[in-house]
Structure 1
Amino acid sequence: MAINGKQSQPNAASIIRWSGLAAIAGGLIFAGIQPIHPADYLTSVTTGTWAAFMYAKLAMCLFFLVGITGIYGRQANRAGWLGLAGFALLIVTWFLQAVFIFTEGFILPIAAGVAPQLVESFLTLANGTQPTMDIGPAGAVYSIAGLCYMLGGLLFGIATVRAGILPKWAAILLAVAAVVTPAAALLPHELQRLAGIPVGLAVAWLGYGVWSLRQSVLAHASAEAGLGQAVR
């Protein structure tokens, strides 16, 4: 049992460490696409550029789900209930975002030719204009995703600072960027997306913190395993 214990803990630490790369990839994609994202209008959804961006964004959501889980796992024993709440909200955020992105990437291009008014109304969720058709609960769900994004980033950033394991300034950047996100609504639409850049960079920075802590993680896991063996 002791041997298995020694093997399992470093393996868990290695998995968490590799999740840091997912956070780096997701954060850099999120930050990088903001200035060059195609316009959220009907004329865009049937283009190859739109399809490429939606595929990249789906991958980004997967990276975020894995990466944020690893960031939380690295500090779970010190992040407390605040960290758990922030983690849960961010997971809900990126799960819902994946659903919307899947719709934009795979359903809207097909529907554009037969129901253009519906497609335009759905795109108002992103471009901030008024829909001309009823799109059901999509608007409410989109608002929930946005609220989870803001509160999750704030709580997770604060909990990460308090945990004191990962880069403090990355956590502060995440919390502050999440709080000021609503202010982006005051900017012209073409500039609103830029508010996502600091959030993406913050997550990538935290992911690098997880990735670069390999030696300390393994040393800590080995020390705990050795202590457990000594107690036995």
Structure 2
Amino acid sequence: MSITPTKLTRAAGLSAVVAGGLFIAVQINHPHMDVTFATTTEYTVRQTAKVLMSALSLVGITGMYLRQVKQTGALGLLGYVLFGAGYLVMLGVELVGAVVLPSIAHSAPGYVRDVLAVATNGTATGDIGLMKTAISVMGVGFLGGGLIFGIALFRANVLARWAAALLAAGSVGTLAIPLLPQVNYRLFAIPTGVALVGLGYSLWREQRSPAARPATMPVGSQLNPAGAK
């Protein structure tokens, strides 16, 4: 099988679709994040899905950006760098959550409790070191990058504009979480997930090979040779 830019771009589109689906799925009936939950099989499954989602999202947005480098310009580059950094840090944070936290939940429950608290918009009572910085960088990159990248994609008008607008709007909406404590903050992840699915499908569909067109006879061949003097 030959590897072509078109096939790679379509694969990136499918990656974004799967990532968006996973992003929505892991929010459904998500239990409260605490030390007890961190030792369960369900926690491991959900965290593994989040790790996969982060990696696929990074592949997906990379394909989106490379497809329209010229159209998005400097704004697109800024948005991609921020958004990509957010997903890259998210990959590391979720990997720590999947591998490290369960293994130290019994020996260092206070640390695990504080990390989970900060990761879910809470506050830590102790020192969690650079994990706090990583989670903050992840938030800034994910929200700021999503907003700028969404605007750049909307302006480029290459992929589905409704999905690009939803990506930007979803990032802005997430900023309202501290003002709406009575609302389940996981609901704010749904617009971003839907946007990734829409953009990914748009990228995949846009890269499909056009149907073979019937060959047309050259104009010159339509002339009757016998009549040519």
For structure 2, list consecutive stretches of 5 or more residues without a partner in the other structure.
213-229
CA contact (8 A) 1:22 1:207 kept: yes
Deviation digits for residues 27-71 of structure 1 (CA, Å, limit 9, x no counterpart): 111022113223211110000000000111111111101111111
Aligned to 1:40, the other structure's residue is in SS state coil
Bigger relative contact order (CA 8 A; separation at least 6): 1
User: If you compute each CA radius of gyration, which structure gives the higher value, 1 or 2?
Assistant: 2
Contact conserved, 1:32 with 1:197, CA < 8 A, in 2? no
Letter aligned with residue 43 of structure 2: W
Q: 1:22 is aligned with what amino acid? A: S
Structure 1 segments unaligned to the other structure (5+ residues): 1-7, 220-232
How many residues are matched? 211
Moved over 4 A (4+): 216-219
- Indicate whether 1:24 and 2:17 are aligned: yes
* Cα gap change, 1:102 to 1:187, in 2 (>3 Å): same
Query: Map of 1:206-217 to 2, 5 A cutoff?
Result: 206-215=199-208
What RMSD in Å do the two structures reach over aligned CA positions? 2.0
Which residue pairs with 1:170 in the alignment? 163
CA distance, structure 2, for counterparts of residue 217 and residue 140 of structure 1? 47
- Which position in structure 1 is the counterpart of 2:31? 38
Contact persistence 2:86–2:138 (CA under 8 A):
yes
Counterparts of 1:52-201 in structure 2 under 5 Å?
Answer: 52-188=45-181, 191-201=184-194
- Tell me how far 1:190 sits from its aligned partner: 7.0
Relative to structure 1, the CA distance from residue 189 to residue 167 in structure 2 (aligned partners, 3 Å threshold; closer, same or farther) is: same
Query: What TM-score do the two structures reach when normalised by structure 1?
Result: 0.85
Q: How far, CA to CA, are the matches of 1:74 and 1:36 in structure 2?
A: 36
What residue number does 1:229 align with?
none
Q: Secondary structure at the match of 2:38?
A: coil
Paired with 1:20 and 1:215, the residues of 2 have a C-alpha distance of 11
Asked whether the 8 Å contact 2:119–2:135 carries over to 1, the reply is no
